[in-house]
Structure 1
Amino acid sequence: MYLDHRALTRAGIHDPVLRESYEYCRRLLVAIGDGKDIWRGSLLLPPERRPHMWAVYGFVRHYDELSEFPVDTGEGQRRFADWCNAAMADLESGHSCEPSVRALRHTLRTWDLDPARVRGLLDGFLMDQSVPEYATFDDLLRYMRLIAVESFHMVVAVMGPAIRPAGPQTEAMALALQLTNLIRDVAEDQRRGRTYLPLEDLDRFGVTRQDLARGRMTPAIRDLVKFEVGRAHALYERGAGLPDLLHPQCRELFRASLTFYRSYLTEIERRDYNVLSSKPRIGPADQARMALRLGVPLLMSRARRSGTGAGPARRWEGAACS
């Protein structure tokens, strides 16, 4: 049984196989990592937009998990590259039997999105297969623009820009969110043999990769993390106007989501920048306080919605699989 029949129907998704593809993406979010937070947030979107959010993030989760398979051999890297190439071929041909590809293909067509953005995202995952470190922040930016900005443009499109192009603000906010992730995951990434914080920054503060791998905080590591947190805050400020450019039905949810995610930086600051002993998380008590503070604007936003909502500019539903 689908847990959100209404959303699928309101989104104009009637084909049984296509409905199951969107449901597959929703289940991926519920089952993997922090995806459950994304799914919970989607419940506050107008129902006709929810499945498309599942499709974007479900596809990202699916290929992110595939990219984490052991790739210490050339064969492993070639296998993942084949999966990526097959996904792009399916998106371009209009036919796929992979559920997450099938759902995303439908979302791309519904919202008139360029499949080239998906190619950029997959190229970012491919970089993770062979690039364990980044010499400069400019090098890291090139990676983040692939892995974060491309998919975030799709998210913003689903939320319906209502005023003017949101490109610069979208990029800044996508980079802020991704950098927040990288700071939170320093210890976990070290265990995977990856160092995303730029080596030029490590050198600046007298930190080595081996220092990070030992998992013990030092004054130098604290200063390094503090610097990266400040850089992330600056990116959030550059993208702060983005919610105002979205569809009125989505603005308050978007603001609430950004406030929640930025609070990870506040938690890191509260911990005196210790990201090595455990992954910074928002505790249940803090989540409850945040929900109370943000809940009233969200409820008011939902109350203002019309009975029919605002769907995408055009609907498209092709053969689900052939």
Structure 2
Amino acid sequence: MSPSGDELRLREGYRRCASLTRRYGTTYFWGAAMLPRPQRKHVYAVYALCRLADDIVDDPQTGTVADPVAAGARLHDFVERFGRDLAAGGSEDPVLSAVVHTARTAEIDPECFDRFFAAMAMDLTQSTYPTWGDLLGYMEGSAAVIGEMMLPVLQPLDPAAKAPARSLGLAFQLTNFLRDIREDLDRGRTYVPQEDLDAFGVDLRVRRPTPEFKALMAHEIERNRALYAFADTGIAMLPARSARCVGAARVLYARILDRIEAAEMNIWTRRARVPTVRKAATAAAIMIAGPGRQLAKATRPRQGEPQSVTSDSH
């Protein structure tokens, strides 16, 4: 029997989701490679939804902030359409058809999408964050909730995995913020709390790795690693394939911090990247041996680094 139009649309939607993830979210792509195909496509679908919303807020062609009024209207229309499609259980748009199918199949709480879209709307009106607590308020919907969306796909063995999953979402986004300070500044946004900039005497407009900037980055990286450390406690609560998926993504993302440090905190002239070949090699190693050894290497104390760190975020 030939597949129906709905089935063909769904297949095409998941294919596009995978393509979006491979193009823009390589760490998620290689991490998801650890999962069985039925789960893997759901990771791609969640990422694709986030990418579509982000592209409304920031012009993907120019990398600049979209016009707030026009982007706000487009985001509103997108959210309304997604809500209707989710309620109806399908969509005429292939990508949204895949996202709706994932949301229903994995039983993702619809409230997660509400928090995510609210954070995307914040990017149209807010460009700075006075305190770490204020930034966490934004990251609640832009990052922690992504961990919650992914959790039903990963099928944890223990409900206590929720808090570490949220922490991993926060850790991933904070790594992005530290890597992308220069690019965000070009867009008129600053995701480093103003209280931290003041405490270390840093003016980002100087755009140089001054001693004060290096001290600020060391502080933020320590905070970032504390989020990763708490997230690591949840990996043992996942089935083996899911643990490999999360472990690979976690190791690959945290290596960005290593590269920032290796460049002596100079994020101004070169973007910290983990080469694709390294991502593939790490994913292969974790697929064969599991995440344990790679996580041990990632969490090994560095010279001059305390054996443990604490975070005021949880």
Question: In which range does the TM-score fall when normalised by the shorter chain?
Answer: 0.7 to 0.9
- Once residues 253 and 34 of structure 2 are traced to their aligned partners in structure 1, the CA distance between those partners, rounded to angstroms, is 16
SS in 2 for 1:129: coil
- Once residues 172 and 37 of structure 1 are traced to their aligned partners in structure 2, the CA distance between those partners, rounded to angstroms, is 17
SS in 1 for 2:21: helix
Question: Identity across aligned pairs (percent)?
Answer: 32
Partner of 2:100: 105
Partner of 2:308: none
Distance 1:291 1:100, change over 3 A: closer
1:246: how far off?
A: 1.1
SS in 2 for 1:183: helix
Deviates more, 1:246-255 or 1:133-142: 246-255
Partner of 2:243: 251
Q: Please state if 1:163 is matched with 2:158.
A: yes
Deviates more, 1:125-134 or 1:213-222: 213-222
Partner of 1:37: 27
Residue 259 of structure 2: which of 248, 256, 267 is its match? 267
Residue 270 of structure 2: which of 266, 273, 278 is its match? 278
Q: Please state if 1:74 is matched with 2:74.
A: no
1:183: how far off?
A: 0.5
SS in 1 for 2:156: coil
Residue 47 of structure 2: which of 40, 53, 57 is its match? 57
Partner of 1:175: 170
- Once residues 259 and 219 of structure 1 are traced to their aligned partners in structure 2, the CA distance between those partners, rounded to angstroms, is 28
TM-score (norm. length: structure 2):
0.83
1:98: how far off?
A: 2.6
1:139: how far off?
A: 0.6
SS in 2 for 1:44: coil
- Once residues 232 and 64 of structure 1 are traced to their aligned partners in structure 2, the CA distance between those partners, rounded to angstroms, is 23
Distance 1:198 1:240, change over 3 A: same
| Mapped contact 1:215–1:277 kept (Cα < 8 A) | no
1:298: how far off?
A: 4.4
Residues 300-311 of structure 1 aligned to structure 2 (within 5 Å): none
1:292: how far off?
A: 6.8
Distance 1:79 1:222, change over 3 A: same
Distance 1:146 1:295, change over 3 A: same
Distance 1:29 1:143, change over 3 A: same
Partner of 1:240: 232
- Once residues 128 and 51 of structure 2 are traced to their aligned partners in structure 1, the CA distance between those partners, rounded to angstroms, is 22
| Mapped contact 2:90–2:101 kept (Cα < 8 A) | no
1:192: how far off?
A: 0.5
String of CA shifts for 1:34-71, please: whole Å, max 9, x gaps: x2332233222112211111111111112111221353
Residue 207 of structure 1: which of 198, 202, 205 is its match? 202
Residue 214 of structure 2: which of 198, 207, 222 is its match? 222
1:76 maps to a residue whose letter is A
1:228: how far off?
A: 0.5
Residue 20 of structure 2: which of 13, 24, 28 is its match? 28
2:81 maps to a residue whose letter is A
- Once residues 15 and 246 of structure 1 are traced to their aligned partners in structure 2, the CA distance between those partners, rounded to angstroms, is 31
SS in 2 for 1:145: helix
- Which consecutive residues of structure 1, in runs of 5 or more, have no partner in the other structure? 1-8, 300-322
SS in 2 for 1:48: helix
2:55 maps to a residue whose letter is E
2:109 maps to a residue whose letter is D
Deviates more, 1:181-190 or 1:118-127: 118-127
String of CA shifts for 1:184-208, please: whole Å, max 9, x gaps: 1101100011001000110001112
| Mapped contact 1:191–1:213 kept (Cα < 8 A) | no
Residues 97-176 of structure 1 aligned to structure 2 (within 5 Å): 97-176=92-171
Distance 1:42 1:76, change over 3 A: closer
String of CA shifts for 1:82-137, please: whole Å, max 9, x gaps: 22232223223334223322211111111122111111111111111111110111
Across the aligned residues of Structure 1 and Structure 2, the Cα RMSD in angstroms comes to 2.4
